[in-house]
Amino acid sequence: MLADLEELVRCESFSADHTALARSAETVGALGARLTGAEPETIVVDGVPHLRWCFGTPRVLLLGHHDTVWPVGSLRTRPWSVTAGAARGPGVLDMKAGLVQLFHALASLPALDGVCVLINGDEEIGSPTSRELIEETARRCTAALVLEPAADGRGALKTARKGASRYEVGIIGRAAHAGLEPHRGINASVEAAHQVLALAGIGAAARDGDPLLGGVTVTPTLLSAGSSANTVPARARVSVDVRVPSRAAQQRIDTLIRELVPRTPGARLEITGGAGRPPLEPASSAGLFALASDLAAELGQGPLRGLAVGGVSDGNRTAAVGCPTLDGLGAVGGGAHADHEFVRLDRMIPRARLLARLVARTAS
């Protein structure tokens, strides 16, 4: 497993580099073929390679990704290493160790009938080219097991994930000379300030007592305005990140954002964007988490814990189409997307054994 992990980590796979992704798909495909005895179907969409293995009629979907957030060349400053029981390197936790565990778990099973493996190449950028493939496959399955890293450094599973929405609030004003006749302009920067405060107010209301909006965050992020230092800005733009625990909250926040009104006379708003990944709600994972807990006890692995997390994954999508989903079954470690990213080697075999038991039970 360690040798396989080294091979994957040394094969860099930045989401935006299609050449690197093609090399990565070949490497991951070869690993999967060696351990399962079957060649993958390679599905290329807009230059992004995705891999799929299907054994019989799919009942359980094993979901992962081979792309990472690390640009090609990151190995020079964050080289592969193994020290003090931990493996390090770009993408080692998110989620190359999860892929290694996945294939070794399958290799330990006497039969793979009813199993589908789908590994996409664009999860880190929102899965724009693989969304339909993921949803189509999940609709045909009765369970989805997601090989994203554990929720913490001790192996907690991800039993709920917030959904994510993205918005752009565009402000249209009118340009004028800032020194000669600023009164003839409609200042988009001033209106943008009003909208930032209004958006922050939605977030504050979500925190201050509306039961439907508990756990919601509304965060203005990127802000831009104007064209020159001596011109009343004619245009401005505010980007907004929204995280929600339920579909009802996602819809309510969508309504509130689309009801924003300009405060500066003459200014106009253009609001674009909306719901991205829906939330993975606790009910979607409850049955699978109970099964995983029983199987962990059978294996002598101690009680499992489940946590709700704010980040999103493709598990949000499988749950949204009605497929029961359990996330965070991948590697145990820390520092995903950070310089200190690492995997605990002592947890790789136990996690692979738990996954193998889950696959055997859900595929039968």
Q: What is the pLDDT along the chain (364 residues), one digit of tens a residue?
A: 999 999 999 999 999 999 999 999 999 999 999 999 999 999 999 999 999 999 999 999 999 999 999 999 999 999 999 999 999 999 999 999 999 999 999 999 999 999 999 999 999 999 999 999 999 999 999 999 999 999 998 899 999 999 999 999 999 999 999 999 999 999 999 999 999 999 999 988 777 766 677 789 999 999 999 999 999 999 999 999 999 998 889 999 999 999 999 999 999 999 999 988 899 999 999 999 999 999 999 999 989 999 999 889 999 999 999 999 999 999 999 999 999 999 999 999 999 999 999 999 999 8
Class for the domain spanning 2-162+279-363: alpha beta
Q: What pLDDT shows up at residue 213?
A: 77
CA-based nearest residue to 288, from 234, 329, 233: 329
**Domain extents in the chain:** 2-162+279-363, 163-275
Cβ atoms within 10 A of the Cβ of 82, count?
15
CA 359 to chain centre: 22
Question: In a 10 Å sphere around its CB, with 0-12 CB exposed, 13-18 middle and 19+ buried, how is residue 160 labelled?
Answer: buried
Contact assessment for residue 279 and residue 161, using Cβ atoms and an 8 Å cutoff: yes
List b or e across 45-58, with b for residues whose CB sees 16 or more CB atoms inside 10 angstroms: beebbbbbbbbeeb
Active site residues: 67, 123
Architecture per CATH, 163-275: 2-Layer Sandwich (3.30)
Cβ atoms within 10 A of the Cβ of 202, count?
19
Question: In a 10 Å sphere around its CB, with 0-12 CB exposed, 13-18 middle and 19+ buried, how is residue 289 labelled?
Answer: buried
Task: Extract the tokens encoding 278.
Answer: 């829906």
Q: What pLDDT shows up at residue 209?
A: 64
Q: What pLDDT shows up at residue 310?
A: 87
Question: In a 10 Å sphere around its CB, with 0-12 CB exposed, 13-18 middle and 19+ buried, how is residue 208 labelled?
Answer: exposed
CA-based nearest residue to 141, from 63, 62, 58, 56: 58
CA-based nearest residue to 74, from 89, 86, 87: 89
Q: What pLDDT shows up at residue 58?
A: 95
Q: What pLDDT shows up at residue 16?
A: 97
Q: What pLDDT shows up at residue 212?
A: 72
Contact assessment for residue 127 and residue 146, using Cβ atoms and an 8 Å cutoff: no
**Alpha-carbon gap, residue 144 to 61, rounded angstroms:** 5
pTM of the model: 0.87
Strands 86-88 and 81-83: antiparallel
Q: What pLDDT shows up at residue 79?
A: 97
Contact assessment for residue 331 and residue 343, using Cβ atoms and an 8 Å cutoff: yes
